[in-house]
Amino acid sequence: MPETMVSSAGGLLAMLNESHPLLKQHALYNLNNLVDRFWPEISTSVPIIESLYEDDEFDLHQRQLAALLVSKVFYYLGELNDSLSYALGAGSLFDVSEDSDYVHTLLAKAIDEYASLKSKAAESNSDGAEVDPRLEAIVERLLDNTNKLWELQLNVDD
């Protein structure tokens, strides 16, 4: 069956205003898959998507999906601080092993932010560094992933 060519995100964006949560989830899922092509159009609906992320009636997965979508839109807009902030809200949906410019850029930003916060804490001799636990989780997932790749490489070389 031939793949359907999508020429606009308008229909999916309209679904974000529907009352049924499954329609909103369907829209978020598909918009996430199309954001690299339609981010300018999706960017006009960022306030709606942000409100879905903040909606306590949405389940955690749906809220994380909204955060991931907003993060990607902010990435394309060049707003890396906002993009990272929402990527942190996306939890495990922000896949540190994904090979994309989006993930590589935000991981670099996360590492810079983490290193900066830890450096400031060390300079002030403070043990209680104010590091967002979600930021620490992303850095730890990255290090875990790197360790697994390193172990795999060592096993292949043996």
Question: Do 129 and 117 form a contact (C-beta atoms < 8 A)?
Answer: yes
Q: Which residue has the higher pLDDT, 88 or 140?
A: 88
Residue spans of the domains in the chain: they are: 6-78, 95-158
Q: What are phi and psi of 116, to 5 degrees?
A: -65, -45
Question: Do 53 and 60 contact (CB within 8 A), yes or no?
Answer: no
SS3 125: coil
Better pLDDT: 122 or 152: 122
**CA terminus-to-terminus distance, the chain:** 45
pLDDT at 150: 62
User: Higher-confidence residue: 158 or 109?
Assistant: 109
Out of 5-9, 61-65, 128-132, 154-158, give the one with best mean pLDDT: 61-65
Residue 84: what pLDDT?
A: 96
CA pair distance 135, 151, nearest whole angstrom: 24
Evaluate if residue 35 carries a pLDDT over 60: yes
Higher-confidence residue: 72 or 116? 72
| Res. 155: pLDDT tops 80 | no
